[in-house]
Structure 1
Amino acid sequence: MKRSKDDAYETIVTLVSVARKHFTEYGYAQSSLEEIAAEAKLTRGALYHHFGSKKGLFQAVLESVQAEIGQHVEAEASKSDDVWEQLILGCRAFVSAAVEPQIRQILLIDGPAVLGWEAWRRMDEENSMRHLREQLELMQRQEYLKPVPLDAVTHFLSGALNESALWIAQSQDVGQSLEETMSVITLFLKGFN
């Protein structure tokens, strides 16, 4: 029994890894389940058994991307003991990760289009926005943040970060656009200090 669970886990990890590569390179619409299964050295049946559909596989890939971003944001934010700097570092880490080619297509372009806006937002709330809200709540409890409605600030800032990532990704100078974005975000956040 344990071996079959291990085999199933390995199959899932392989399919998600190969599918992520395809979804990044070709986008959701142009990715072929046959090619993903062939590259993974598995059958389409195995793919359907574990994910049910191309959309189910894409959702698993998006979930892994969001988990990866969450870990990256936490790691970057934890480089400081100062709660304001943690917030800024976390925002920078999110935007920097989101504009990476292996993430941008899946997270920002195909994610909302494939899963639908509501499903994508729910996943975003469970991952990035949850961490953002926790940081803002901690800052408010410690009186580093003015008493403002946390849900409103969280959604506002999350939307700004997502839109900024889309803008930066299309920019001719990603580095400069990232610095300009972080300057604006920092200025905005100082208004709540």
Structure 2
Amino acid sequence: MVRRTRAAMEATRATLLATARRVFGERGYADTSMDDLTAQAGLTRGALYHHFGDKKGLLAAVVEQIDAETDLRLQAISGTAEDAWQGFCDRCRAYLEMALEPEIQRIVLRDARAVLGGTLPNSQRHCIASMQRLIDNLIQQGVVAQADPRALALLIYGGLAETAFWIAEEDDGNVRLAQGAAALKLLLRGMLVEPGSS
């Protein structure tokens, strides 16, 4: 029996992820067969089972990859802003806008919720932690009112996630995006320190 090198194993895993991401994005999870997916990847079902356990495990890995990329995009938005508060607001709005991107909409917001349920991948935890750090910084600067940064991050992230699901449910989510963005602006305004308060 020939042992495969670590590099070959990582290449197989990467090929399966890339193929699944493309096929899930084009057809959706339910309309993707494991046989077709592995054939398109030029690999066997055994490779899929070895690396991901099953089709559901493969979907979870694809979602985690997309979530990690999303978090990096959001960090870039808030990290490059000249004003920390505006960067935070822009980051939140961008999260809602991403609900209209076909790949995120189909794989993360529709299929993952239906198939994986309420599981919280590590990348989502990182997103919440990143948001918590931003909020804590804004509290320290006196921009955001005193509150527990973790609680605020969870509430805002949860609200953003549910609104993104709501936007993704609509075939043309632009109307819902506009409604969600207006509500977000109102919600975020409520976090600010009131003028004259100490």
TM class, shorter-length? 0.7 to 0.9
Equivalent AA in structure 2 for residue 36 of structure 1:
L
Separation of aligned partners in 2, 1:64 and 1:10 = 15
CA distance in 2, matches of 1:187, 1:24: 33
Partner residue, 1:115 = 116
Q: Matches of 1:13 and 1:115 in 2, distance apart? A: 21
Shift of 1:28: 2.3
The separation in 2 between residues aligned to 1:130 and 1:87, in whole angstroms, is 14
**Equivalent residue letter for 1:139:** L
CA deviations 1:58-112 (Å, max 9, x no partner) are 1110110101111111122223121111111111221222331111222122223
Give the equivalent residue in structure 2 for 1:14: 15
Q: Is the 8 A contact 1:65 1:103 kept in 2?
A: yes
| C-alpha RMSD over aligned residues | 2.1
CA distance in 1, matches of 2:163, 2:146: 26
Identity %: 34
TM-score (norm 1): 0.87
The aligned runs of 1:164-179 (5 Å cut-off) are: 164-171=163-170, 173-179=172-178
CA shift digits 1:106-139 (9 cap, x unpaired):
212222332232xx23546413222222211221
TM-score normalised according to structure 2 size: 0.85
Please list, as runs of the form range in 1=range in 2, the aligned pairs for 1:32-51 lying within 5 A after superposition.
32-51=33-52
Shift of 1:173: 4.8
Provide Cα deviations, 1:125-184, integer angstroms capped at 9, x if missing partner: 413222222211221122211111223322221122112212222446534432332222
Large movers: runs of 4+ above 4 Å: none
| Greater fraction of residues in helix | 1
- Counterpart of 2:160 in structure 1 is 161
| Matched ranges for 1:1-193 at <5 A | 4-117=5-118, 120-123=119-122, 125-171=124-170, 173-193=172-192
Q: How many residues align?
A: 189
Structure 1's unaligned 5+ residue stretches are none
What CA distance in whole angstroms lies between the structure 2 residues aligned with 1:173 and 1:55?
A: 28
Q: Is the 8 A contact 1:72 1:93 kept in 2?
A: no
| Runs of at least 5 residues in structure 2 that lack an aligned partner in the other structure | 193-198
Residues in 2 aligned to 1:122 and 1:59: alpha-carbon distance in whole angstroms: 8
Bigger Cα Rg: 2
Structure 2 CA distance, aligned partners of 1:5 and 1:21? 24
